[in-house]
Amino acid sequence: MTEVQRQGFLTRLTAYEPLTLITLASIAGGLFVLQRLTSEVLEGETFRFDEVILLALRRADDLAVPIGPGWLTHAVDDITALGGITVLSLLTALITIYLLFDRRWPIAIFVFSSVLTGWLASTLLKILVARPRPDIVPHLVEVSDLSFPSGHAMVSAVTYLTLGALLARTQRYRSTRIFVMGAGVFLAVIIGLSRIYLGVHYPTDVFAGWCAGALWALGCWLISKRFVPSRAPDGAAEAGNGDSR
């Protein structure tokens, strides 16, 4: 190995391997936390914790009325829609189409596949755990499926964190990358909290959704970092420029 090759190898090792190890360690730790939380839920050990939080968010004299001003309920209802199937489907479809038009075929397919498989994973977890919706307080929105993990929390985390991570790769400045990722985390957090406030999920459902969604997004980011190019191939870019002449 020549000196140039050795320096190049050390540069790649320094740039990627520590980050890869940290990512893998985070995934392993997250899987452990998710497994423990699921086990505690199945054994009923978390019910008291969930009950205290749900009751604290309602007026003691009328559990059908949440704490806070009237406008807050409407705002939370709007926020929770950001994690609904309609909004996330439209967002994913539009971004996928944009990436296809931008000649970024690998990343377009990857984004669509990441969100779709995350959705399927959320559904599978719900079926396996089969936890009914909470009946501690009246629901402020209509729901019909199972409770654990929160689909809104998990799928919104998968969607917004995956999109945020992929978008951050294209940004030049670190401050912009931090903002993009922070925005994704913020959206996932407020959507999950909205489900608790509306009384349609136990807090542990939401915590599990965040954990599972973050794990999925982290795994997708690791795969994309290694195998999915963030830019269109030079030939595709040149062809696109030629079409516009």
Catalytic residues: 152, 201
Q: Mark residue 33 as left, alpha or beta (left: phi above 0; alpha: psi -120 to 50; beta: remaining).
A: alpha
Closest by CA to 219, choosing from 132, 104, 113, 128, is: 113
Q: Who contacts 100 (Cβ-Cβ below 8 Å, separation ≥6)?
A: 108
Q: Is 49 helix (H, G, I), strand (E, B) or coil?
A: helix
What is the Cα–Cα distance from 180 to 172, expressed in whole angstroms?
A: 12
DSSP state of 133: P
Phi then psi for residue 186, to 5 deg, are -60, -45
